[in-house]
Chains A and B, each alone.
Chain A
């Protein structure tokens, strides 16, 4: 399998390739159909709207007090013996993690699943420093073996099917080819088990950081998260600053929403609550626990009362599972750490609107994402807001604002505005269009690459209504 680099700048070409790849099309369609079904059935007995409202309010309440809660989290983590570090961007976060590793003379790092570490490009950074970083989440492990990036935030290897996985395990680890999923899982498990024991440092993400208690919650199914955070002598948790919640009792509703929205599970196999390193009277657990709080553009998003909603996200992936665009082009096409609808509203802040110029427009605004979002992020509204920023009619506080403004388009919209605010001219123009319909072009690309050309009707509704009124006046009654 060839290694391909994906970038948001090449969205159109990547979408073209993905749409023409039957394997990608069927892998994603099948997987997303399954995930949508599971979500629907697991929520069938629930008042999901009330729960979403609760989830949204918990996140909004946390965000409204974000600076205070982060300080409270820091104090309570420190009281628990967790060392807290602040990173303003990905590079600084990488440096902090590397220095912790180097202080322990670490050569080998085992990683639980963490999208923030993907966002930071942590593995590449550690490898440059001579530290080997191995992914232990099965999907991440496969993606890493295949020298790829995750194509989904919850299911990183969802783009691969059984045969492809068998090939990867065979080619990269010498595992015998098989279609038996259990056999493949067992093989990967055996390979990873040794590495857990040998690792000098474990690195994980965080799902919820509880300010009230200084507790780091980690949601997972494979047990690799528990191994990562308990077996190596050092545990480093990396998280975006928005993951903080106020109280411990905020966690159960968010957890209920997260697992159901993500994979349709009522509960995950593991739910870890990490509240510090090994105590003096304990026999196991890491000697050191570190928490790296990563900003990387989040504070800037936080300054804007609309864009702020982006930070509610609990990273369940339901928006991509339900997105008709994501389902067809797959995760890699976006060329960004976070793909799909959440990626389209988050990545412009992290990479700028110039690099991500085709992302906010890559949506029909169908609203399926907003409908299922467990914390009710108004994703379509935020896409429109980013389009507004792109054409320079927003508040100008997204990097690259105005990058898509061009004279031709502005002129077109200004002309449209003039016509639509001059009803007489509008009626004359639309009436004329009907009379000249024979002159309508037979192609109107790209619309007509896939559809017939829409021809103006021979008469407008305005004209029909006028005639209808006259008929009315003559007969004095309705035509039916």
Chain B
């Protein structure tokens, strides 16, 4: 369990770390995250040289390769501003695993310092921006899937639902076993495809059985998995990143 965290006052500037999945597959979600922050009067700095946090190699056991890639990211955030990550998974990598990855190296202190100012997007909107949302969308029943890393590595299972709860015409429905993994797990989905498929199939059924017309998630890995399965099965419910959903309904 993540210990209680002290949040800083609302800063004038933040860094935005878009993540490679968003960069390549869901760039709109990244831009919507930036817009949500800018609407709070915060200047968002997007370091152009960002690539990938290194997690895919890290969880596959290729730590030398992961460390080289992570080291390149460490240098992108020289100012002491918070770093906002629209993903619990990449955020968890930077907050929890960077210090482990660089332990005993000359970069350890740098990794620890950065880890201390990594925030997941919804966490930052709730706890630092104290954002107030005005719903402009049609009534809709929505399920939220919080990623395992947001929930357990970053300890921010409540902030996504809290934001959705501010949307007046959104009915947040909770699927059975909401805390259970969707079966993505990065390379797990490819190394153990059948087990992963059984998990995502259960997850999509639970979302449908909860009566959701739509689902949102704060992680694009889960999104690619859950939405990809729904689409392959030609089932009507679709999903999107929570940043896009919040921006679309409130702008």
* Interface residue ranges, A against B (CB under 8 Å): 12, 15-16, 19, 49, 324-325, 328-329, 358, 361-368, 370-371, 381, 384, 386-391, 393-394, 410, 413-414, 416-417, 419-421, 423, 426-427, 430, 433-434, 446-457, 459-465, 468, 478-480
Whether A450 contacts B200 by the Cβ 8 Å rule is: yes
Interface residues of B in 158-213 (CB under 8 A from A): 179-181, 183-201
* Given A390-B61, A451-B225, also A462-B152 (CB < 8 A): no
Report B20-54 CB contacts with A as 1/0, cut-off 8 Å. Answer: 10111111101100110011000000101111101
Any A CB within 8 A of the CB of B228? yes
Tell me the complex Cα distance, A410–B64, Å.
11
Whether B35 contacts A479 by the Cβ 8 Å rule is: yes
For A384, list chain B residues within 8 Å (CB).
58-59, 61
Whether B62 contacts A391 by the Cβ 8 Å rule is: yes
B57 to chain A, nearest CB (A): 5
Any A CB within 8 A of the CB of B65? yes
| A371 touches which of B152, B189, B200 (Cβ 8 Å) | B152
* Residue among A12, A364, A366, A381 with the highest chain B CB neighbour number at 10 A: A364
Any A CB within 8 A of the CB of B224? yes
A219 to chain B, nearest CB (A): 26
Whether A452 contacts B232 by the Cβ 8 Å rule is: yes
For A386, list chain B residues within 8 Å (CB).
61
By secondary structure, the B interface counts as: helix
For A362, list chain B residues within 8 Å (CB).
188, 191-192, 195
B199 to chain A, nearest CB (A): 6
For B30, list chain A residues within 8 Å (CB).
461, 464-465
Whether A433 contacts B28 by the Cβ 8 Å rule is: no
Tell me the complex Cα distance, A421–B76, Å.
12
Whether A423 contacts B27 by the Cβ 8 Å rule is: no
For B140, list chain A residues within 8 Å (CB).
none
A257 to chain B, nearest CB (A): 15
For A434, list chain B residues within 8 Å (CB).
24
* Residue among A371, A388, A417, A480 with the highest chain B CB neighbour number at 10 A: A417
Whether B58 contacts A363 by the Cβ 8 Å rule is: no
Whether A393 contacts B61 by the Cβ 8 Å rule is: yes
28 A-B pairs with CB atoms under 8 Å apart are A16-B194, A19-B194, A328-B199, A358-B192, A362-B188, A362-B195, A365-B148, A365-B186, A365-B188, A366-B148, A367-B148, A368-B180, A371-B1, A381-B100, A413-B57, A413-B62, A416-B57, A421-B69, A426-B51, A433-B24, A434-B24, A450-B200, A451-B200, A457-B24, A457-B25, A461-B31, A464-B27, A465-B30
For A456, list chain B residues within 8 Å (CB).
24-25
| A361 touches which of B31, B68, B191, B224 (Cβ 8 Å) | B191
For A15, list chain B residues within 8 Å (CB).
192, 194-195
Whether B59 contacts A387 by the Cβ 8 Å rule is: yes
For B186, list chain A residues within 8 Å (CB).
364-365
For A388, list chain B residues within 8 Å (CB).
61-63
| A423 touches which of B25, B51, B58, B149 (Cβ 8 Å) | B51
With both beta carbons as reference points, the residue of chain A lying nearest to B199 in the complex is identified as A324
With both beta carbons as reference points, the residue of chain B lying nearest to A328 in the complex is identified as B198
Whether A468 contacts B198 by the Cβ 8 Å rule is: no
Whether B184 contacts A364 by the Cβ 8 Å rule is: yes
B229 to chain A, nearest CB (A): 5
| B180 touches which of A324, A419, A430, A446 (Cβ 8 Å) | A324
For B187, list chain A residues within 8 Å (CB).
361
Any A CB within 8 A of the CB of B18? yes
For B137, list chain A residues within 8 Å (CB).
none
For A364, list chain B residues within 8 Å (CB).
148, 181, 183-186, 188-189, 196, 199
Tell me the complex Cα distance, A95–B151, Å.
48
Whether A389 contacts B61 by the Cβ 8 Å rule is: yes
Report B86-97 CB contacts with A as 1/0, cut-off 8 Å. Answer: 000000000000
| B51 touches which of A370, A420, A447, A479 (Cβ 8 Å) | A420
Whether A430 contacts B24 by the Cβ 8 Å rule is: yes
Whether A465 contacts B61 by the Cβ 8 Å rule is: no
Tell me the complex Cα distance, A223–B68, Å.
57
B27 to chain A, nearest CB (A): 4
For B231, list chain A residues within 8 Å (CB).
451-452
* Given A367-B152, A368-B152, A480-B251, also A420-B52 (CB < 8 A): yes
Whether A450 contacts B28 by the Cβ 8 Å rule is: no
| B27 touches which of A421, A453, A460 (Cβ 8 Å) | A460
A430 to chain B, nearest CB (A): 5
Tell me the complex Cα distance, A451–B225, Å.
7
For A365, list chain B residues within 8 Å (CB).
59, 148, 185-186, 188
For B58, list chain A residues within 8 Å (CB).
384
Whether B190 contacts A447 by the Cβ 8 Å rule is: yes
Whether B31 contacts A447 by the Cβ 8 Å rule is: no
* Residue among A386, A387, A455 with the highest chain B CB neighbour number at 10 A: A387
| A450 touches which of B18, B48, B57, B229 (Cβ 8 Å) | B229
Tell me the complex Cα distance, A43–B63, Å.
37
For B148, list chain A residues within 8 Å (CB).
364-368
For A464, list chain B residues within 8 Å (CB).
27-28, 30-31
For B68, list chain A residues within 8 Å (CB).
417, 421
Whether A19 contacts B61 by the Cβ 8 Å rule is: no
With both beta carbons as reference points, the residue of chain B lying nearest to A455 in the complex is identified as B25
Tell me the complex Cα distance, A463–B22, Å.
12
